[in-house]
Structure 1
Amino acid sequence: MATYKIEGKWAVIFFAMYLAWITLEKTLGFHSTRIAYQPVVSVMVLIPSFLLYRSAIIDKRKKYFHDSISFKQAFKSGMILTFFVILLSPLSQMIAMNLLSPDFFTNMRNFAINTQGMSELEANTRLNIRAYIIASIFGGLITGLIFSLLIAAFVRTKKST
Structure 2
Amino acid sequence: MASSPQRAAAMEVEGSGPPKFEPLKAQEMSDGKVQFRKVVVPAHRFSPLKKHWMKIYTPVYEHMKVDIRMNLKARKVELKTRSDTPDVSNLQKCADFVHAFMLGFDIADAVALLRLDDLYVDSFEIKDVKTLRGEHLSRAIGRLSGKGGKTKFAIENSTRTRIVIADTDSHSGIIYKY
TM-score normalised by structure 1 residue count: 0.24
Higher relative contact order (CA 8 A, sep 6+): 1
TM-score normalised by structure 2 residue count: 0.22
Please say which structure displays the higher CA radius of gyration.
Answer: 2
